[in-house]
Amino acid sequence: MKFIKNKTIFLFLGIALVNIGCSKKGCIDTDALNYTADAKKDDGTCIYPSKAIIKSITLKNFPNVDDFGNSWDNTSLADPFVSIENIALEVLHQTNPKIDETPEIIWGVTPNLIIQENSFSTSLILYVYDEDGSVDDEMGEIWISLKDYTSSGTETNKYPTTIQKSAQGCTIEIGLSWEK
Q: Which residues bind Ca ion (CB under 5 A)?
A: 73, 76, 79, 100, 130, 132
Q: Give min distance, CB of 40 to Ca ion, in A.
A: 59
Nearer to Ca ion, 81 or 159 (CB): 81
Nearer to Ca ion, 74 or 118 (CB): 74
Nearer to Ca ion, 79 or 115 (CB): 79
Distances (CA, A) of 21 to 16, 37, 42, 141: 9, 14, 13, 51
Nearer to Ca ion, 43 or 132 (CB): 132
Nearer to Ca ion, 78 or 146 (CB): 78
Q: Give the whole-angstrom CA distance, residue 164 versus residue 152.
A: 19
Q: Give min distance, CB of 116 to Ca ion, in A.
A: 35
Q: Do 78 and 71 meet the contact criterion of CB atoms below 8 Å apart?
A: yes
